[in-house]
């Protein structure tokens, strides 16, 4: 059983796949690929696991149901090896494995990707092809899953990144930066007749459409002012012909798991082994993900769009998207994940689902979610916040078949706290009923994160921190604190510069009256070996 077009196309091979419980493409894939290449309507940037488990499967289902006649083009601009070593050897096919909470598994071969291209301006053929795609009348939308960092043009000091600065100066011919390349493709569309398109970020970050817009506009502005492009390019980006809708996406898609790989191998699937690229991307010919998924998109598509609502994508207005996004990112999922990531690392957990057997950690996320966060949520209408949290805490996170790790989720935590907790604090500040002083566990989580930055677990053993762009700033600050009986004044002196940092927490914790509480908790969490467990029991179990 080979993951290739030849490996699924003849009757005998199809029968073998189906006998092993795999769903296979029901449509004429050869015709689909031809039609998609000739008249592409959807291109996606970011060829990783979330795209393969969500967007590609949505298109696959609609193709199987006869509701689409064309598939997706995918472009990868960060790690070209994904295209070279995962897509190309398997004829752009992949296996999507859905891990259900009841222990069952949905296995399907996904063929909706018609073409996979490296977003590489040094590859003349690939970049020419992408410009050709962007010049097509038929192209309606470009979607993105490139992570929040993909839209960034500056470093931690606010300075333009080297590649970005070089692209500003050189113009759109052969940009090197990710957003420079995207802007160059939009310029190709502008030159082809100022054609309309929706540029849809589906990354898991707040106001994602604005982040994409700001990055593209920065290039259009620089290039226009430097006369590297036609004078009207900036106006085109700002016109109604180019939209940058907001969206909210939610689907847990951890790295390919060894247990899933073994199941595929037992089924007889050949060549399913994961690879690690030179850029340290861990990827495989298969992707494993949870069953629950949400994608809510602002319905602003200047060149029209397919009926993706028939694939269970929700389309609505921007105000509703914002409410849904705030509900999820600020309260109902992401903050709870961060709680488990921080304390999971400190307590030595390797799976998020295992943490949901820990009564103190369960009480922690229940308190942060139901008792503190939910009070500040504005009901978005199309999704119910309490039902959302119920699903998160009773079905999604406890799913023992989901191999997600606290170490993965702890990545870039300094970039997440301002949204995942700071927005709730701001909502309490603005409320006539809620009081910031009533928040008890959010400051406890802040203290837990500072304790985590010491890179010493609750047993006193060193561990490796997950990657974070601010580690070089944060870790030296936390080196001033050692496990042992420190006075709270010493603790405060060490962390004061961090607690005042609105970029990290979204608010100045001194100004909102939360700093003393954080310092008090941190003192307890650093009192010695076992202090983290004792504090969790004290505030969440014995209480």
CB atoms within 10 A of CB 482: 12
> Are the beta carbons of 225 and 169 closer than 8 angstroms?
no
Pairwise CA distance, residues 58 & 305, whole Å: 14
> Are the beta carbons of 168 and 226 closer than 8 angstroms?
yes
> Are the beta carbons of 340 and 365 closer than 8 angstroms?
yes
CB atoms within 10 A of CB 317: 12
Residue reference for tokens 């979330």: 50
β-sheet bridge partners, residue 44 = 74, 143
Helix axes 515-525, 441-452, angle to 10 degrees: 50
Can you give the pLDDT at residue 254?
A: 86
Query: Closest Cα partner for 380 from 506, 294, 302?
Result: 294
> Are the beta carbons of 114 and 32 closer than 8 angstroms?
yes
Can you give the pLDDT at residue 88?
A: 97
Pairwise CA distance, residues 406 & 121, whole Å: 36
Tens of pLDDT, residue by residue, the chain (543 residues): 999 999 999 888 999 999 999 999 999 999 999 999 999 999 999 999 999 999 999 999 999 999 999 999 999 999 999 999 999 999 999 999 998 888 889 999 999 999 999 999 999 999 999 999 999 999 999 999 999 889 999 987 889 999 999 999 999 999 999 999 999 999 999 999 999 999 999 998 889 999 999 999 999 999 999 999 999 999 999 999 999 999 999 998 888 989 999 999 999 999 999 999 999 999 999 999 999 999 999 999 999 999 999 999 999 999 999 999 889 988 899 999 999 999 999 999 999 999 999 999 999 999 999 999 999 999 999 999 999 999 999 999 998 887 789 999 999 999 999 989 999 999 999 999 999 999 999 999 999 999 999 999 999 999 999 999 999 999 999 998 989 878 889 899 999 999 999 999 999 999 999 999 999 999 999 999 999 999 999 999 986
| Beta carbons within 8 Å of 42's beta carbon, 6+ residues apart | 59, 70, 71, 72, 73, 139, 140, 141, 142, 143, 306
Pairwise CA distance, residues 218 & 164, whole Å: 10
CB atoms within 10 A of CB 494: 19
Beta strands of 285-403 (E only): which ranges?
286-290, 294-298, 314-316
| Beta carbons within 8 Å of 62's beta carbon, 6+ residues apart | 68, 306, 308, 310, 311
Q: What angle do CA 116, 122, 124 make, to 5 degrees?
A: 65
Can you give the pLDDT at residue 255?
A: 87
Count of CA atoms in the C-beta half-sphere (13 A) of 35 = 13
**Segment 37-72, tens digit of pLDDT:** 999 999 999 999 999 999 999 999 999 999 999 999
Q: What is the pTM of this model?
A: 0.85
Q: Give me the count of residues in the chain.
A: 543
């Amino acid at each position: 059983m080979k993951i290739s077009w030849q490996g699924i196309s003849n009757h005998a091979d199809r029968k073998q796949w189906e006998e092993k419980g795999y769903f296979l493409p029901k449509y004429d894939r050869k015709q689909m690929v031809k039609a998609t290449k000739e008249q592409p309507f959807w291109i996606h940037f970011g060829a990783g696991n979330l795209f393969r488990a969500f967007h590609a499967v949505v298109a696959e289902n609609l193709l199987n149901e006869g509701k689409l006649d064309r598939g997706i083009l995918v472009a990868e601009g960060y790690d070209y090896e994904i295209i070279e070593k995962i897509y190309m050897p398997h004829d752009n096919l992949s296996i999507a494995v859905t891990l259900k909470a009841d222990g069952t598994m949905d296995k399907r071969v996904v063929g909706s990707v018609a073409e996979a291209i490296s977003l590489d301006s040094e590859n003349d053929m690939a970049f020419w092809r992408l410009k050709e795609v962007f010049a097509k009348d038929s192209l309606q939308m470009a979607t993105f899953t490139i992570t929040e960092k993909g839209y960034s043009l500056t470093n931690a000091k606010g300075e333009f990144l080297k590649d970005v600065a070089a692209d500003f100066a050189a113009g759109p011919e052969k940009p090197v930066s990710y957003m420079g390349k995207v802007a160059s493709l939009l310029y190709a569309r502008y030159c082809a007749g100022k054609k309309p398109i929706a540029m849809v970020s589906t990354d898991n970050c707040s106001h994602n459409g604005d982040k994409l817009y700001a990055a593209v506009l920065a290039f259009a502005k620089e290039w226009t002012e430097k006369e590297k492009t036609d004078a009207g390019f900036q106006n085109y980006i700002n016109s109604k012909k180019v939209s940058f809708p907001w969206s909210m996406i939610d689907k847990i898609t951890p790295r390919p798991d060894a247990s899933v790989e073994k199941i595929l191998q037992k089924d007889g699937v050949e060549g399913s082994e994961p690879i690690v690229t030179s850029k340290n991307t861990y990827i495989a010919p298969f992707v494993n993900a949870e069953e629950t998924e949400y994608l809510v998109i602002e319905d602003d598509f200047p060149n029209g769009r397919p009926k993706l609502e028939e694939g269970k994508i929700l389309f609505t207005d921007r105000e509703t998207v914002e409410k849904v996004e705030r509900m999820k990112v600020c309260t109902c999922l992401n903050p709870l994940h961060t709680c488990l990531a921080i304390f999971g690392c400190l307590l030595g957990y390797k799976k998020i689902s295992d943490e949901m057997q820990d009564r103190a950690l369960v009480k922690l996320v229940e308190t942060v979610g139901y008792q503190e966060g939910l009070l500040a949520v504005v009901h978005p209408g199309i999704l119910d916040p309490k039902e959302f949290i119920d699903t998160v805490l009773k079905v999604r996170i406890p799913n023992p078949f989901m191999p997600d790790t606290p170490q993965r989720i702890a990545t870039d935590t300094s970039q997440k706290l301002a949204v995942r907790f700071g927005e709730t604090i701001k909502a309490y500040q603005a409320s006539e009923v809620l009081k910031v002083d009533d928040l008890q566990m959010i400051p406890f989580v802040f203290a837990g994160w500072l304790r985590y930055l010491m890179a010493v677990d609750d047993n006193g053993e060193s561990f490796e921190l997950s990657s974070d762009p601010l580690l070089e700033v944060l870790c030296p600050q936390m080196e001033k604190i050692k496990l042992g009986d420190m006075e709270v004044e010493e603790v405060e002196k060490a962390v004061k510069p961090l607690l005042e940092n609105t970029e990290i927490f979204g608010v100045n914790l001194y100004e909102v009256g939360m700093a003393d509480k954080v310092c008090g908790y941190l003192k307890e969490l650093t009192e010695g070996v076992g202090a983290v467990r004792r504090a969790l029991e004290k505030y969440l179990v014995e209480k």
